[in-house]
A and B are shown apart, each in its own frame.
Chain A
Amino acid sequence: MALLELKGVDAAYGRIQALRKMSIDVNKGEVVALIGSNGAGKTTTLRTISGLMHPQAGTIGFDGRDITTTGPARIVALGICQSPEGRRLFPRMTVQDNLFMGAYSRNDKPGIASDMERVFTLFSRLRERRTQIAGTLSGGEQQMLAMGRALMARPKLLMLDEPSLGLAPILVETIFTIIREINSQGTTVLLVEQNAHKALEVAHRGYVLETGSIVKTGSGQELLASEDVQKAYLGM
């Protein structure tokens, strides 16, 4: 059974329709990539799932529950955590406090401490900078912190919005290695990326979005090999 299931979801910003009859599912243990050009509705999909906006039609199911109209705080508690686009760190809080914020919906102190350790193991740069305030980190470090913070919620489903945006190529490589590692430790990942090539390489499956609807789906390898996708998104 799918961990996350969107069925015929419509969503709009005022009168601008952003998603049309959007249906995707994400199975437990998968990395699923959503690719598409600017304005295709990738971020809107994530916002709808995390409850920051609500669909006008369709249903969203998570872990056997209907979360179509559930609020964001409750959704985090249920186990979906998003590392938002543009990172949205708390710039004036320390690295460590940012990570604590990620664990806000949890109450188990020992578990939080061990997850903090896990994050510091994944991102050793963050350990060095734990008392530094987040706004003074470099771009790559901020992205690491955003992902670490999302992991602190010990999510069943981690949603990453453009994790490679604005990063140096070497850092992009690191970030995707870490995504793979996070997944191999048992976290399901829903990945939104403009860097379609990288995303499809790590993803088990992918969806291609165009103007708010799914136009193509398949395994990561299939999509990488598909001619349409190559032309439209891989620049080949």
Chain B
Amino acid sequence: MSGPWSEEAEEDASSLAGTTDVELIKRAWRNEKAAPEILQFEGPLVLRVREQIQLLEETVEESTENGSNDLVVSLYQMDLDRTLFLLRSYLRIRLQKIEKYMIHISKTNLWNRLSEQEKKFAKRCTEIMEKLLEQSVLARLPYGYESFLKQSISSEEDDMVPEPQLDTFVFCKAKDAVGAFQLDDSGDEIVDLVADDLYVIRYKSIKGLVEAGQIDLV
């Protein structure tokens, strides 16, 4: 499967029950908020939402100019504000995750989940964090202990890099029944994921379902 966020899947999703882009961005926002690691950037969706915001802004402006009913204008404005909030908050949450896990992200294939602008941001953040720690601590430590990634020269791997806790618990809900689902590798725990039921599960176990858009975090 090429992933649910390929073009056709997305069209499918929006044609289903008339899901609007605003609802889609709300869903992306919720998932991003609840997931411990960074998810795929919703590039095309963000673009569409921004176009809609621009349209709404024009509508509000026009209605104000030709003296439409104040109530109507303020309803448009509220709609606009809500969408803007979702978009801003979505982008902010991602930046915060990047700030926290920038090195981990840049070393793994999570890197491909970032937008071009986010990649630039991540690079800059890493540079300045490294500079801060270099200036104040690392440059003043003895030989063998001055690495930003390794505790000492005898560490075999990078043992200083903060990583998201994937075994944290999340609340989730499936839109359609997923059916019997294996929670761990050993196959000891199997749950039947029913549509619209609320579950509390370790993120690690349902990571694949979240990425495939089969389950939503709340």
Decide whether A and B assemble into one complex. no
Binding site for B on A (CB under 8 A): none
Binding site for A on B (CB under 8 A): none
